[in-house]
Structure 1
Amino acid sequence: MTPTHRVLIIGAGFGGLAMAIRLKEQGEHDLLLIEKGHDVGGCWRDNTYPGAACDVPSHLYSFSFERHYPWSRRFAPQAEILAYQQHCARKYDIYRHIRFNTEVADARYRDDQGLWEVTLTNGETLTCRALITATGQLNQPAYPPLKGIDDFHGPHFHSARWDHDVDLTGKTVAVVGTGASAIQFVPEVAKVAGKVKLFQRSAAHVIAKPDRPYTRAEHLLLKKLPIAQTLDRLRIYAANESRVLGFTSLQKAMTAYEWLFKRHLKQSIKDPALREKLTPDYPMGCKRILMSNDYYPALARDNVEVINHGIQSVDKQGLTDSTGVHHDADVIIYGTGFKATDFLTPMTLHGRDGQDLNEAWKDGAEAYLGITVRGFPNLFMLYGPNTNLGHNSIIYMLESQVHYVLQCLAQLDDSVRALEVRQDSQARFNERVQADIRDTVWDKGCHSWYKTDSGKNTNNWPGFTFSYRQQTRNLDLNDYELIR
């Protein structure tokens, strides 16, 4: 069997683009990106809901090799981030390597040839020497398991699949969920809807967002002196990196953020009863800390009602909460996040001897450095298990992973058919990660999208990003078996 491509990448978001660009820089042009959507962008292509924006400053939320970009604001909106990704794909000639509207159904490692056989949903089969997944952790919308969820007679959709054909003007809109997406679209919906009924299972910690447009003078300075943007990037990185202490070894530092949260809530919400509803009952940082300047003011509007109960069921006219009260609605919007712990779904992967990755991960996903998995030679993951961040830019982590994967790929030559991580290396790494997580605020008694149903944190990196970069800087072949 002759490989169709030396390298096949699944996903054309930030991870897939970074991998493809770096491969081409090293002279590797025998590559293909498989993308299920119609363009590059990943979650920034999919999440087009009103108010969508990033909570990492734009000067840091960009590739290190393409950092001089004329961002309009300190925190970039969705459309601008997507335009940046499209710019990178054009500049580095990646588009011609991408097959859009194409989805992977199954991938199997063929021991006898040392190749991955990738089957697409249209039945076509491709083969490759190395398979790289860049599907992200936030690409499969999670719908709540509500009785009668499909019985509702009106428009109903997930925020990541926003239906722009639905006019919300004057409508009664039920919003389920109060996470990172909801705090951005609820203020926009509240401006036009007749009534917003916000169903909150648990309150979020929301702090003010230090966002503003860049001035004309700043744009001129950044254009004339690109080093100014580099220095600002370093400043933001250092400031964000220090925040990890509040999540990990110096959790008393979270007191400062607690004060910022309480001040923001008190300044924005004058009604003591509503303020009590919006006060979380878990330690700050246990779930994702959110940033918004208009979320709390939106909840204080006369046309917005916060319902602090779970939902029992959905019917044709609306929703019934856990106290038995029925709430009529014209439209339901689910801001309920993603299946973040279901890595690589819905495709299936089979490794050496037909091993099923879902079976290998039945107790929760894990990988060595979040990149390689025992039993799956020449499979490399970007943004894999335990590489998500609560304090800094994921693009920094992705570039660390790309650098590491490039070193792995360099080992694959005429004499080395495949690399497979050793079981002891993978086990030691994950034992250390889980031990570190047990000492973090994420393990302080709340349930979040960071965890599986059994309580294992499969998503977050429990430390400094520069520590992760150090661990991925040099490939140690002692961690791998070389299959010749």
Structure 2
Amino acid sequence: MAPQLDAIVVGAGFGGLGAAIELDRLGLREFVILEREDDLGGTWYVNRYPGLAVDIASVTYSYSFEPNPYWSRLFAPGEELKKYADHVADKYDLRGRMRFGTVVEGAHWDAGNEQWVVAIAGGDTLTARYLLTATGFLSQPYTPPFPGIESFAGKIIHTTAWDDDYDLTDRRAAIIGTGATAVQLVPEVAAKVAALTVFQRTPIWVVPKVDAPIPGVVQGLFAKVPLTQKAARLANTAMLEALMVLGVLHYAQAKPLNTAAAALAKAHLFAQVRDRRTRAALTPHYDFGCKRPTFSNTYFKTFNQPHVRLETNSIDHIESDGIVTADGHKTEIDTLLLATGFNLWDVNFPAIEIIGRDGVNLGKFWRENRFQAYEGITVPKFPNFLSLNSPYSYSGLSYFTTIEAQMKHMGRLFTELFRRGERTFEVTERANAEFLDRVTDKLGSSVFYGGDCATARSYYFNQHGEAALLRPTSTASAHREAVSFPLDDYTYGRTA
């Protein structure tokens, strides 16, 4: 029984778009992209909260092979990222192969027919030779189980389901969460509401945001002389590498750089917040990089406003008209905004049930045998399967560096598969174990294990205390290995 399709891609965000472009390049043109939302773009379609913007400079946050010379700002607003995703889908003829509003319930490997069988909500199934999951790192919204939240009589909005029709003017609002999303959202909400309380569990490192409009003359230069935009991209990437790879991943060897980054953030906080006690509450007590830092010129200033209050006591329960903290204080509100982030390690790796060879459940395997993936993309006992958002895959600070490295890995792997005239591939146990040992060893000198991360509550760490998200190499190294990994790290055509 031949499969219906060459490949199935799950997810129509930038990861899925990149995977689809690479499939086309390889000649595997009979594929579909299944997306649970009503449109493409992934996080840039789902998230529409006020203040949404990319937190990596625009020249870096894009495909290197498809630059956009017309970003309006150094840090582009969210709607421009959505338009960029639309442009990519149209230029590379991908939209017609997308199925929106399609919820994938699970997939299993059919060894007898050497194909993946994908179950879709409603009872339909599809079969394909290859399965690629591109569900992203931040795709499963998280709402903490606050006691009494179901009794709240006011309006509740999660940042991933923003209600554009709800008027915040003169509301008494609370924002729960102080991660990167909240850093963007807090100043916008404060400008509209009558009273705002920000509930902080863990402070975040915030450094100045060197942001400004990109003049039309510069946009024109980027369009006419693409080399100039490439140079800007290279310069920005180098700065990100210095921050992430040296200061965070090579903390033991470059501790002064990490210390300098923390000093910059503290100076930024001191310059912007007048009240000493508020500054102290906003100061992290963990090392820079334990939790993803962010950029803002307005977040700290917001706490100088008389109608804005920072609450650091833990939430005990929620009542119909307010939030009660552990010290017994009640904050009366009519609007509850949840900037509580995403659940990575419990439900996102993987985001759907995937059953491989010999009935191995990927989620169960990862949780019982450590989170792992060879080169951040393939797993033993899962033939013809590519997981584009896997443990140890995130390279650098821009998601696009990860996407393009994985596209290159796909290109090398499938080219060898076709050269041999085979139809199946599977990474060997040996190669996977050696890669896991190597990245684990390299992470030993990172801030995650060498620094003080005890109070960070960072999504970098899984439930076993392992920082199993980031790949502890430079972007250049990740891309070099993607085109030079040993071809015998895979078996071809043998899946019994």
TM-score per shorter chain, which class? over 0.9
**1:50 Cα shift?**
0.3
Is 314-323 or 216-225 further displaced after alignment? Answer: 216-225
**In structure 2, C-alpha distance between the alignment counterparts of 1:125 and 1:287, rounded to whole Å:** 40
**In structure 1, C-alpha distance between the alignment counterparts of 2:155 and 2:221, rounded to whole Å:** 48
Of residues 398, 402, 426, the one that matches 2:407 is 402
**In structure 2, C-alpha distance between the alignment counterparts of 1:149 and 1:426, rounded to whole Å:** 44
**1:210 Cα shift?**
0.4
Describe how 1:57-456 pairs up with structure 2 within 5 A. Answer: 57-243=57-243, 244-249=245-250, 250-341=254-345, 342-363=347-368, 364-389=370-395, 391-413=396-418, 415-443=421-449, 444-446=452-454, 447-456=457-466
**In structure 2, C-alpha distance between the alignment counterparts of 1:29 and 1:375, rounded to whole Å:** 26
AA aligned opposite 2:453:
G
Contact 1:387 1:459 in 2 (8 A): yes
Computed over aligned residues only, the root mean square deviation of the Cα atoms, in angstroms, reads: 1.6
**In structure 2, C-alpha distance between the alignment counterparts of 1:233 and 1:152, rounded to whole Å:** 47
AA aligned opposite 2:405:
S
Deviations 1:23-70, CA, capped at 9 Å, x for gaps: 223333111111111111111111110001111111111111111431
When residues 75 and 258 of structure 1 are mapped into structure 2, their CA distance, relative to the original with a 3 A threshold, is: same
**In structure 2, C-alpha distance between the alignment counterparts of 1:466 and 1:397, rounded to whole Å:** 11
Of residues 461, 465, 470, the one that matches 1:460 is 470
AA aligned opposite 1:393:
S
Deviations 1:59-95, CA, capped at 9 Å, x for gaps: 1111111114311111111000110010010111110
Is 80-89 or 210-219 further displaced after alignment? Answer: 210-219
Contact 1:62 1:395 in 2 (8 A): yes
**In structure 1, C-alpha distance between the alignment counterparts of 2:289 and 2:267, rounded to whole Å:** 17
Is 18-27 or 67-76 further displaced after alignment? Answer: 18-27
> What's the secondary structure of 1:23's corresponding residue?
helix
AA aligned opposite 2:435:
F
Deviations 1:259-289, CA, capped at 9 Å, x for gaps: 2111111111011111111111111111111
**1:103 Cα shift?**
1.3
AA aligned opposite 1:226:
P
AA aligned opposite 1:418:
T
AA aligned opposite 2:477:
S
- Unaligned 5+ segments in structure 2 are none
**1:415 Cα shift?**
4.7
Deviations 1:405-448, CA, capped at 9 Å, x for gaps: 13323344595231111112111211221222232112333331
**In structure 2, C-alpha distance between the alignment counterparts of 1:254 and 1:166, rounded to whole Å:** 42
Contact 1:371 1:384 in 2 (8 A): yes
Contact 1:178 1:200 in 2 (8 A): yes
Contact 1:382 1:402 in 2 (8 A): no
**In structure 2, C-alpha distance between the alignment counterparts of 1:320 and 1:374, rounded to whole Å:** 48
Aligned length: 483
Is 436-445 or 193-202 further displaced after alignment? Answer: 436-445
Is 440-449 or 74-83 further displaced after alignment? Answer: 440-449
- Which portions of structure 1, spanning 4 or more consecutive aligned residues, are displaced by more than 6 angstroms? none
**In structure 2, C-alpha distance between the alignment counterparts of 1:54 and 1:442, rounded to whole Å:** 25
Is 51-60 or 223-232 further displaced after alignment? Answer: 223-232
Question: What TM-score comes out, normalization by structure 1 length?
Answer: 0.96
**In structure 1, C-alpha distance between the alignment counterparts of 2:139 and 2:6, rounded to whole Å:** 26
Contact 1:105 1:346 in 2 (8 A): no
Contact 2:176 2:339 in 1 (8 A): yes
Deviations 1:96-128, CA, capped at 9 Å, x for gaps: 111111011010001111100000012100000
Identity across the alignment (%): 36
AA aligned opposite 1:230:
K
Q: Does 1:473 align with 2:478?
A: no
**1:346 Cα shift?**
4.3
**In structure 2, C-alpha distance between the alignment counterparts of 1:454 and 1:150, rounded to whole Å:** 31
